[in-house]
Every structure is written in structure tokens, then in C-alpha cells.
Amino acid sequence: MPATENIFLPLSFNQIFELVNQLPKNQKQQLAKLLIKDNKVAALDVTEVQKKFVRNSIKKYKHQPELLIDEADAWKMINAK
């Protein structure tokens, strides 16, 4: 088996997308599973600063529940911008 070496290929997102589209269905599924698995691992890496922010937000809204808005209104506000 030949020795493997790192090769730098400067590819754009669109080029990678086109290459992936050429893969057989089973290989696309394998790639999707790997990407999802990698994403789940990354999602678990929550910093202490983020945790503290969420904890403080929960405390704030438990003491002032009138500040909460429902999801539909939140999406309206987000999409209005």
C-alpha cells in the first residue's frame, strides 16, 4: 500500500458540493452520518461562559415571567429584521 501524504486542495464549498453529489447514495449516507456525528460532538462543547449566560437568563425570566414572549412572536420579530 502506498504511503499517504497530505495534499492541500483549495476547493470552494460549491466544488465540494458537486463532488459529493457524484458519490453513490451509500457513500453520501456515510458522509452524512459522519458529519452529523461530528456536529453532535461539537454541540456538546458548551463553554462555561455560555452555561453561565443561560443560567442567568433562566433566573431572570423565572423572576420576571412577564418578559417572556412566545415562539411565534419571537419568530415574527426575527423575520421582521
Domain extent, residue 66, equals 47-81
Q: Is residue 39 part of a domain?
A: no
What are the pLDDT digits (tens) for 33-68?
888 886 666 656 778 899 999 999 999 989 998 888
> Residue 78 falls within a domain, yes or no?
yes
pTM over 0.85: no
For residue range 18-39, list pLDDT tens digits in order: 999 999 999 999 998 888 886 6
Tell me the C-alpha distance between 28 and 19, whole Å: 10
- Residue 57 domain-assigned (yes or no): yes
Identify whether 23 is part of a domain: no
